Chains A and B, each alone.
Chain A
Amino acid sequence: MKYSILIFTVIILSAVGFYAGRSRSSKTVNGEIRKLHSLPGYYGFYVALWCGLPALIVLGIWLAFQSSVVTSIVVSGLPPEIQSLSDEEMSLVINDIVNLAHGIVVGRPDNVLLAAAEHYNRLLGTGFLALVAVVMSICIAGLGFSMRYINPAMRARIKVEQTVQVLMILCSTVAIFTTIGIMLSVLFESVRFFNQIPITDFLFGVHWSPQIAIREDQVGASGSFGVIPLLTGTLMISAIAMLVAVPIGLMSAIYMSEYAAEGFRTVVKPLLEVLAGIPTVVYGFFAALIVAPFLRDLGSKIGLDVSSESALAAGLVMGIMIIPFVSSLSDDVINAVPQSLRDASLGIGATQSETIVHVVLPAALPGIVGSILLAVSRAIGETMIVVMAAGLTARLTANPLEAVTTFTVQIVTLLIGDQEFDSPKTLAAFALGLVLFIITLCLNIIALYAVRRYREEYE
């Protein structure tokens, strides 16, 4: 709360700086704006940036390090017998102190801890006062400094634009660093997993039953971590999904871009895209409660043994979900095929369908392939539908009427419930995540490459 008031004050001061800078700049030329290098607003922004940016940066750094600095000061003030505790016990003590400082009292705390908590609070209090002083003085110094620099020759616009550019670069790197961070953590945890389970067992094993004994004498004590059944399950469901999505998506894309009247297209395309906006959990219970029982009943009527959770049900529903990925992107690429190619083909007496098959589709092919691959990687990563409709049993089978399981489902089940953080069972989730990540990454790279080649040819 106190901190947000501080931030708010900085922002208000920046706003004041903006107006001050703006009016100051036009005063230096007696209102003859054309004599200024930049428009007065840029001088305003210049002052506002000087006023707000350094102060907010300092504030951020301060807040990032405050708690660890304060904690270490508190710890160094503790009696020696506590200081000599092991690291883990120490962190418990620190936890207690912080809780006490926040007023969470459990049982009857001893006096040493109470004193430490008070010390902690006192430090935070002084820290805050110091912070206010530092931030405010930076703010005002920035304001005064930049106001003095305002003169007609100063290139305020260029400086402001450069600063904004740097800010934009920082924002865009946030996404990059997050991705790198996630990748590294998945990688390191996977390496830990492979230290316990050989990587060849993982990649080539045909049994997946990730039970690890908690007691020595438990039944089924040894887990096995063969990823092959998950891979086949994932591939089978994705294949079924693509068998549904590619023909339907492609046909509707061709219809929309080549045959349909403009009015029809403007209505139907957004409607199709709504399919992609339905939450996957809704698809999930649609699959589990409607499609799967329907398939089982249908199967029993014609004498087929369909299990109530089947790859087929999950795949069908997933296929419907990804239709818009295929249709919308394909429609875009088909539309981007130049009209002159269609004219050329029609001009030598090809029918419209011959033109589509022999000219339009081949020309759009790389883009269509790209859209299909994006849809595949979407299908492979899909979780909710498979959790609900495809089952949890890892089975190495080619029969789509049986229950199978996928990477994503297993990651979910591995992490549900209480876990030891360094048991192979938990770490297996990271290894599965890594495999999944590598598969979809490869698909995406191929897809982007295909789409880019297509662009090069037509732009």
Chain B
Amino acid sequence: MQLMDNLIMKRDEIIKPVGNPFLNEERVKISCRNVNVYYEENHAIKNVSVDIAEKEVTAFIGPSGCGKSTFLRCINRMNDTIRTCRIEGEIRLDGENIYDKNVDPVLLRARIGMVFQKPNPFPKSIYQNVAYGPRIHGLARNKAELDEIVITSLEKAGLFKEVKDNLDHPGTSLSGGQQQRLCIARAISVQPELILMDEPCSALDPIATAKIEELMDELRQNYTIIIVTHSMQQAARVSQRTAFFHLGNLIEVGDTNEIFVNPEHKLTQDYITGRYG
């Protein structure tokens, strides 16, 4: 019985993270303060406070079910579409609280691109897939401008060369890796400031993964990127900062180099060295 109580205590415990979650004000793109997320009774994110740096890749790592995706979806308010989900706390994008009553989540999501775990192109042509966002936001005044946007987005996503003769082919006919790059092109077509990626490579083979990682390295010149990954190597390769989550808690956060070379928290050490679970 005592043991049970201990375990339950542990699950509900709110842990203060080691490392430094906060950054110099000039570098901050997003600042999260005391964020709590509940799915009905399930306390999925426990009082997380962390800053995300501008024009850097930040990786969220942690065992599955620890709340990485949940936290990621708080940042573009995708959790609003889940009925059972309740969010407390403050998330500021460029100083503006995105959970403020005046903020329209639809407009917010136009500023924040999202790439999902499974490639999810629309069952439309490659062109239409990329043109979708600019169209609904009225970014192009005419066909020529739209073409321009589609082509530059595909180029930035490193896909244009492969598909330039087949823009009218269905997006779903591409290979998995190409589909995921198409989804990235779709995400950047509306010129977001921020790109959220939820395990973007988990359904891809190593070669396609390498291409996406390369792409992320280029994109970080212009975009702030947050990537959720379960691959330690990937986090080490692509990110500049890493945050480690466990059971809804932010356990440790810091420069990627330091976390991987010198993890401070016992849980982080175990996870990174593969001793976890």
Question: What are 6 A-to-B residue pairs whose CB atoms are below 8 Å?
Answer: A344-B120, A346-B78, A347-B78, A349-B106, A349-B190, A350-B133
What is the CB-to-nearest-CB distance from B83 to chain A, in angstroms, rounded to a whole number?
8
Most A CB contacts (10 A, CB to CB) among B76, B111, B189 go to B76
Which A-chain residue is minimally distant from B115 (CB atoms)? A347
New A-B contacts (11) at CB < 8 Å, excluding given A348-B187, A349-B111: A340-B116, A343-B78, A346-B78, A348-B110, A348-B186, A349-B108, A349-B109, A350-B132, A350-B133, A350-B136, A351-B106
Q: Check A341–B120 contact: CB distance below 8 A.
A: yes
CB of A358 closer than 8 Å to a CB of B: yes
Q: Check A349–B120 contact: CB distance below 8 A.
A: no
- Given the known interface contacts A347-B76, A347-B114, A349-B109, the answer about A340 and B120 at a Cβ–Cβ threshold of 8 Å is yes
B107-133: CB near A (< 8 Å → 1, else 0) gives 111110110101011111000000011
Chain B residues 46 to 79 lying within 8 A of chain A, measured CB to CB, are 76, 78
Q: Check B110–A349 contact: CB distance below 8 A.
A: yes
CB of B247 closer than 8 Å to a CB of A: no
Chain A residues 342 to 369 lying within 8 A of chain B, measured CB to CB, are 342-351, 354, 358-359, 362-363
CB of A110 closer than 8 Å to a CB of B: no
CB of A457 closer than 8 Å to a CB of B: yes
- Given the known interface contacts A349-B106, A349-B190, the answer about A343 and B132 at a Cβ–Cβ threshold of 8 Å is no
Which B-chain residue is minimally distant from A337 (CB atoms)? B123
How distant is the Cα of A362 from the Cα of B109 in the complex, in angstroms?
22
What are the residues of chain B within 8 A of A338 when measuring CB–CB? 120
What is the CB-to-nearest-CB distance from B74 to chain A, in angstroms, rounded to a whole number?
14
What are the residues of chain B within 8 A of A359 when measuring CB–CB? 122
Which A-chain residue is minimally distant from B117 (CB atoms)? A340
How distant is the Cα of A358 from the Cα of B134 in the complex, in angstroms?
13
Which A-chain residue is minimally distant from B133 (CB atoms)? A348
How distant is the Cα of A188 from the Cα of B81 in the complex, in angstroms?
60
A141-176: CB near B (< 8 Å → 1, else 0) gives 000000000000000000000000000000000000
CB of B183 closer than 8 Å to a CB of A: yes
Which A-chain residue is minimally distant from B113 (CB atoms)? A348
How distant is the Cα of A366 from the Cα of B183 in the complex, in angstroms?
24
Those 6 A-B pairs whose CB atoms lie nearest each other, nearest first = A349-B110, A347-B114, A340-B120, A349-B109, A348-B133, A344-B120
Q: Per a CB cutoff under 8 Å, which of A343, A351, A362 touches B123? A: A362
Q: Check A347–B136 contact: CB distance below 8 A.
A: no
What is the CB-to-nearest-CB distance from B118 to chain A, in angstroms, rounded to a whole number?
6
Chain B residues 79 to 100 lying within 8 A of chain A, measured CB to CB, are 81, 83
CB of B137 closer than 8 Å to a CB of A: yes
How distant is the Cα of A346 from the Cα of B83 in the complex, in angstroms?
15
Most A CB contacts (10 A, CB to CB) among B109, B110, B123 go to B123
- Given the known interface contacts A348-B113, A457-B123, the answer about A354 and B136 at a Cβ–Cβ threshold of 8 Å is yes
What is the CB-to-nearest-CB distance from A334 to chain B, in angstroms, rounded to a whole number?
14
Give the A interface residue count (CB, 8 A).
Answer: 20
What are the residues of chain A within 8 A of B76 when measuring CB–CB? 347
- Given the known interface contacts A349-B133, A349-B190, the answer about A341 and B109 at a Cβ–Cβ threshold of 8 Å is no
Measured CB to CB, the residues of A under 8 A from B are: 261, 338, 340-351, 354, 358-359, 362-363, 457
- Given the known interface contacts A347-B76, A348-B132, A349-B136, the answer about A341 and B122 at a Cβ–Cβ threshold of 8 Å is yes
Q: Check A349–B116 contact: CB distance below 8 A.
A: no
Q: Check A350–B120 contact: CB distance below 8 A.
A: no
How distant is the Cα of A347 from the Cα of B106 in the complex, in angstroms?
9
How distant is the Cα of A40 from the Cα of B122 in the complex, in angstroms?
55
How distant is the Cα of A350 from the Cα of B136 in the complex, in angstroms?
7
What is the CB-to-nearest-CB distance from B202 to chain A, in angstroms, rounded to a whole number?
14
Q: Check B107–A345 contact: CB distance below 8 A.
A: no
B207-248: CB near A (< 8 Å → 1, else 0) gives 000000000000000000000000000000000000000000
Q: Per a CB cutoff under 8 Å, which of B120, B136, B189, B190 touches A343? A: B120
What are the residues of chain A within 8 A of B106 when measuring CB–CB? 349-351
Which A-chain residue is minimally distant from B172 (CB atoms)? A457
Q: Check A346–B109 contact: CB distance below 8 A.
A: yes
Q: Check A362–B124 contact: CB distance below 8 A.
A: yes
How distant is the Cα of A370 from the Cα of B136 in the complex, in angstroms?
29
What are the residues of chain A within 8 A of B83 when measuring CB–CB? 261
- Given the known interface contacts A348-B190, A349-B106, A351-B106, the answer about A343 and B133 at a Cβ–Cβ threshold of 8 Å is no
How distant is the Cα of A176 from the Cα of B123 in the complex, in angstroms?
37
What are the residues of chain B within 8 A of A340 when measuring CB–CB? 116, 118, 120
Q: Per a CB cutoff under 8 Å, which of A347, A362, A363 touches B113? A: A347
Q: Check B136–A346 contact: CB distance below 8 A.
A: no
Q: Check A344–B122 contact: CB distance below 8 A.
A: yes
- Given the known interface contacts A338-B120, A362-B124, the answer about A344 and B109 at a Cβ–Cβ threshold of 8 Å is no
Q: Check B137–A344 contact: CB distance below 8 A.
A: no
What are the residues of chain A within 8 A of B110 when measuring CB–CB? 348-349
How distant is the Cα of A348 from the Cα of B186 in the complex, in angstroms?
8
How distant is the Cα of A345 from the Cα of B81 in the complex, in angstroms?
12
Q: Check B122–A349 contact: CB distance below 8 A.
A: no
Which B-chain residue is minimally distant from A342 (CB atoms)? B81
What is the CB-to-nearest-CB distance from A202 to chain B, in angstroms, rounded to a whole number?
45
Most A CB contacts (10 A, CB to CB) among B76, B109, B121 go to B109
- Given the known interface contacts A340-B116, A358-B132, the answer about A347 and B122 at a Cβ–Cβ threshold of 8 Å is no
